[in-house]
Structure 1
Amino acid sequence: MPTPTTLPLSGVRIIEFASFVAGPSAGKALAQMGAEVIRVDPMGGNADVKRWPLSDRTGESLYWNSLNRGKRSVMLDVRSDVGRDLLLGLATAPGTDAGIVIDNAVGRPWFSYEALAARREDVIAVRVQGRADGRPAVDYTVNGAAGVADMTGPAYTDAPTNHVLPGWDFLCGQQVATAVLAALRRRDKTGHGANVEIALADTATAAVADLGWFTEAAERGDRARHGNHLYGSFGVDFATADGDRVMIVALTPRQWASIGIATGTTEVFAALAASLEADFTTDEGRYAHRGVIEAVLTPWFAQHSTVDVHTALSDAGVLWGPYRSASVVAADFEADAGIDPVLVGVDQPGIGDVISSSSPMRFDGEYSGSVPAVALGSDTAVVLGDVLGLDTAELDRLRAAGVIV
C-alpha cells in the first residue's frame, strides 16, 4: 500500500465544506490520492451525519463514515461570526498547495467566491449546485428529468423506474475532483485562482447528451423499454440450473462467436441466421433478433449448474458477469475469496469491522488501502493550531464561547 508521501497529491490541502454525496465523494477521491482533506461541519454535524444506512451494532451512519475516511474533521459554530471567520481562514490559509475549497454552500453569501477571493486572490473554489440557476436538486430528482427513468425497467409497464445508485452524484463528484486538479494545474502555471460551479442537473443532462440519447429521441422518438436486454446489440441475463443468474454480452464478432462455442450453439445460430436472412456478427442483426437468440440460449443455461456455466463462459472467452446480492459480495469478502481486490477491511471506531475500499486508481500497481473515518470534530483544535496558528489560550476562549467543542 502506498504511503501518503508517495501519492501524487501529497502536500495539497483541501477544505471541504459540503454534505451528501457529490462534494464528499470528491474529497474522498482526492484524499485517496494523497491530499490532506479537512472536512468542516457545523456544530452537531451537517444534514448527512445520520444518513442511512445505519449500523445495526451502534446506530452510527455507515454512509457518513464511508465517505469521510481519510479526512480530518473540524466542527465549528458557523452561525457565529467567529466561526465563519475561522472557516474562511482555513479556506484561504497561505501555502503553495493550499487555498482550495470544495463546497455546496449555496445561499451562504458569507462563503461566496468573492468573500474567499477577498482574503486570497488565487483561491480555488469549486462549488456543487443542484441546478445552474441556484434551485435545489438531488440525484433522484435530476434522473427523471434527464429521461433515464423512462428508459429503465421492464417492458410491461410505462411507469418511470428510479435507480438505487446515485450515479449522477458520483459522476458530479468526479467532475469536482477533476476541476480541482485542473484549477490547481492552471494556478501552478499562471498564478490565477478559479471560481468553478458544477450543477448536478448539468452533469446528468450532459452525460445523457454525450451518449447520443437526446439526438436519438429527436430522430426516432422515445426509446422502447428493454428490461434487462442490452440496447443496440445483444446482452441479457439467464438463469442457471441452480437458480443463479448471469449476464452475457456480445459487442464484437469475436464475443458473439465465443457464446456459440461456450453453449454449443454455433451451428444452430448459423442455420438460424441463414433462415432469417440476418447477420448475427453485427450489432444490428443481434439486436433485431434478440428475442429469438435468447430463446435458443435459455435451455442451455437452465440445464447447467452455476459452476459449469461460469467455467464454460470463461474458457470460451465470453463477456459475462454473475449477479450477486450485496450480502453475497459481503460474504465473499469475509471468506477472503479475493474476487474484489479493491475492497479492504477497516476497524471503524464507534462501529467495528466494516467493509471499505481502496481507490480504484492503482498508482505503480498498488491499491491505496483505506483508513477509518475520524470522529466528528476530533481534529478541530489540532487543525486550528496547525493551519491558523491558534495557541492553547485562544482555543480555550473559543471553547468557552461555544465556537468549538
Structure 2
Amino acid sequence: MALKPLAGITVFENDSFVAGPSSCLGLAQLGAEVIKIDPIKGGPDIDRWPITPEGRSIYWGTLNRSKRSVAIDLRSEAGQELAQALITSPGEDAGIFVENNVGRPFLSDEVLRGKRADLIHVKVQGSADGGPGVDYTVNAEAGIPLITGSAEVDGPANHALPAWDLLCGQAAATAVLTGLLHRRSTGEGLYEEIALKDIALAAVANLGWYTETLQPAGERAKHGNHIFGSFGSDFATSDGRYVMITAITKRQWGNLVKVTGLTEVVAALETALGTDFALETNRYTYRETLEALLKPWFAARTAAQITADLEGSGVLWAPYASLGEVAQETLAAAQDDPAGAGVLRTLESEALGTMLVGASPVRVNGEYLAEDSPTVFGSATEAVLTERLGLGSAEIGRLHDEGIIAS
C-alpha cells in the first residue's frame, strides 16, 4: 500500500492557474484529501492551453488531478452558503482553505473565521497590497528578464517556466503545514497571505543579486548561456544537437581539459595570459576565449560520441532534450516498468488520454508517492455535499433543479 503521510487531512481550495493548484496537488500527493470548489462553469483556467484537439485543458487536468471536484454556482446566495459550509465543516484535521480570490467577499477570512474560529486560511495574492499579478508581470518587475537571453539582443527575454508561481505553490503548502502544527499545539487557526511578487523579490534578494548591483561593477549584463561567475556554456555537436557543459569546481575543469585533450594548450594559454584557470573567477573572465577553444572538439563529434567520451569522465554535463524527447523516453521506460521512469509516471484519463505526470518529488523512505488519479470537473459534487454536510437526495435534487450545483 502506498504511503500517505498526510492521510486524514482535508484541504479545500478555491483557486486557479498555477500557485494554488500546484500547492494543493502536492498536498494531495502526500495523502491529503483535497476538495476543489469551482464556479459551476469552471474557473478562469478551465479551458487554458495546452489543450487536446477536442478542446479539453491539459493544463487544468494535470494540475488538478487527484482532487475531488465540486462545482457550485458561486454567484448565487445559496451556492455561496454551500461553499462556506464546506470550507468550515467540522473535523479535527479539516477547516483548511487555500485560495487566490479577488472580489469574493463571501470567502473573506473575516466571514469564514466567524463560522470556524480555528480555520487555517492560506491566501495567494499577486502583490502584498492586494493588487493583481501573474508570473510574467512579477518576473518583469523583479528584474530577471533584463539579464536573460543573448548578449547580442537588446530588450527583455521572458522565460517559459512559471518559476515564481511554482515557488509560491511550495510556500503555500508550507503555510498549510505551518498552520496545522500551530493549531495542534495551540488550538488556534492562522490566516496566512503569500504574495507572488514577494516570493520573487525575496528569492532574488536572497541570492544576493540585488546586493550585487550596489557594488562598483553595478548591474549585471546579459551573458547568454554562460554560467555567471564560473565556466559553463552550450556546445553544438556535429549532428546538430547541443550539450551543456559546466566546470564549476577545479576538479570539473581539470576533467574537462583532460577529456578534450587540451591540457598542453590550456597550460600555454594560462602562461600567455598570466592567469590560472583553476580559479573559478578566471574561467568566467575568459569564458569566451575558453568557449572558442573547446568548440572544435564538440563540433567534430556526434552527440553519441560525446556521450561515450564524457560518461564516467567526471565532467558535469547534460544533453539538451526537447519536451517531446523527454516524453518518449518516459513512455519507453514506463512500458517495461512503471516505476522505471523515476519521478515521471503515465496516467490514463478518459478525457485527456495518456498523461505524463510527476509523482511527488518528496521521496518517503526512498519511495516516490505516485498514487494519482484523473479528476473530472464537478464529478464529486453530490458525494462531497452528502459526506461533509449530510445533505439527502431530496436536497441534492432540489439544488440540481435550481442550478445551484452541477448536474
Q: Is TM-score (shorter-chain normalized) higher than 0.5?
A: yes
2:149 to 146, 153, 157: 153
1:62 to 58, 61, 71: 58
Deviation at 1:264, TM superposition (A): 1.6
Amino acid at match of 2:345: V
1:237 aligns with 2:234: yes
Name the counterpart of 2:86.
90
Q: Is the contact made by 2:147 and 2:222 (CA closer than 8 Å) also made in structure 1?
A: yes
Aligned-partner SS, 2:147: coil
1:193 aligns with 2:189: yes
Query: More deviation in 141-150 or 217-226?
Result: 217-226
Name the counterpart of 1:366.
367
Amino acid at match of 2:373: P
| Structure 1 residues 370 and 243: alpha-carbon distance in aligned structure 2, compared to 1, 3 A threshold | farther
Q: Is the contact made by 2:333 and 2:341 (CA closer than 8 Å) also made in structure 1?
A: no
Deviation at 1:340, TM superposition (A): 4.7
Amino acid at match of 2:223: H
1:348 aligns with 2:344: no
Deviation at 1:132, TM superposition (A): 0.8
Amino acid at match of 1:398: L
Aligned-partner SS, 1:183: helix
Q: Is the contact made by 2:235 and 2:242 (CA closer than 8 Å) also made in structure 1?
A: yes
Name the counterpart of 1:107.
103
Name the counterpart of 2:400.
399
1:330 to 308, 327, 331: 327
- Take 1:235 and 1:324, find their aligned partners in 2: how far apart are those partners? 17
Name the counterpart of 1:275.
272
Name the counterpart of 1:12.
9
| Structure 1 residues 146 and 340: alpha-carbon distance in aligned structure 2, compared to 1, 3 A threshold | farther
- Take 2:122 and 2:272, find their aligned partners in 1: how far apart are those partners? 59
Deviation at 1:274, TM superposition (A): 2.3
1:205 to 201, 205, 226: 201
What TM-score, normalized to structure 1? 0.96
Runs of 4+ in structure 1 off by over 6 angstroms are none
- Take 2:237 and 2:10, find their aligned partners in 1: how far apart are those partners? 51
Aligned-partner SS, 1:360: strand
Query: More deviation in 44-53 or 323-332?
Result: 323-332
Aligned-partner SS, 1:316: coil
Show CA shifts across 1:81-113 (max 9, x none).
111111111111111111000001123221111
Name the counterpart of 1:176.
172
Deviation at 1:371, TM superposition (A): 2.5
Q: Is the contact made by 1:356 and 1:370 (CA closer than 8 Å) also made in structure 2?
A: no
1:299 aligns with 2:296: yes
Query: More deviation in 249-258 or 46-55?
Result: 249-258
Show CA shifts across 1:217-266 (max 9, x none).
12232211101111110010001111110001111111111111221222
Query: More deviation in 129-138 or 329-338?
Result: 329-338
Amino acid at match of 2:88: T
Name the counterpart of 1:380.
381
Name the counterpart of 1:78.
74
1:144 aligns with 2:140: yes
Q: Is the contact made by 2:7 and 2:32 (CA closer than 8 Å) also made in structure 1?
A: yes
1:260 aligns with 2:257: yes
What TM-score, normalized to structure 2? 0.96
Deviation at 1:297, TM superposition (A): 0.7
Deviation at 1:267, TM superposition (A): 2.6
- Take 2:48 and 2:11, find their aligned partners in 1: how far apart are those partners? 24
Structure 2 residues without counterparts, runs of 5 or longer: none
Aligned-partner SS, 2:405: coil
Q: Is the contact made by 1:38 and 1:74 (CA closer than 8 Å) also made in structure 2?
A: yes
Q: Is the contact made by 1:168 and 1:204 (CA closer than 8 Å) also made in structure 2?
A: yes
The number of residues matched between the two structures is 401
Amino acid at match of 2:343: V
Name the counterpart of 1:284.
281
Q: Is the contact made by 1:65 and 1:372 (CA closer than 8 Å) also made in structure 2?
A: no
Q: Is the contact made by 1:246 and 1:323 (CA closer than 8 Å) also made in structure 2?
A: yes
Name the counterpart of 1:127.
123
Q: Is the contact made by 2:348 and 2:374 (CA closer than 8 Å) also made in structure 1?
A: no
Aligned-residue RMSD, C-alpha? 1.4
- Take 2:163 and 2:192, find their aligned partners in 1: how far apart are those partners? 21
Show CA shifts across 1:346-405 (max 9, x none).
111112112122111111111122533221100000011111111111111211221112
Name the counterpart of 1:357.
358
Amino acid at match of 2:290: I
Show CA shifts across 1:184-213 (max 9, x none).
111111111110110111111111101111
- Take 1:340 and 1:280, find their aligned partners in 2: how far apart are those partners? 38
Structure 1 residues without counterparts, runs of 5 or longer: none
Deviation at 1:308, TM superposition (A): 1.7
- Take 1:46 and 1:259, find their aligned partners in 2: how far apart are those partners? 51
Deviation at 1:275, TM superposition (A): 2.0
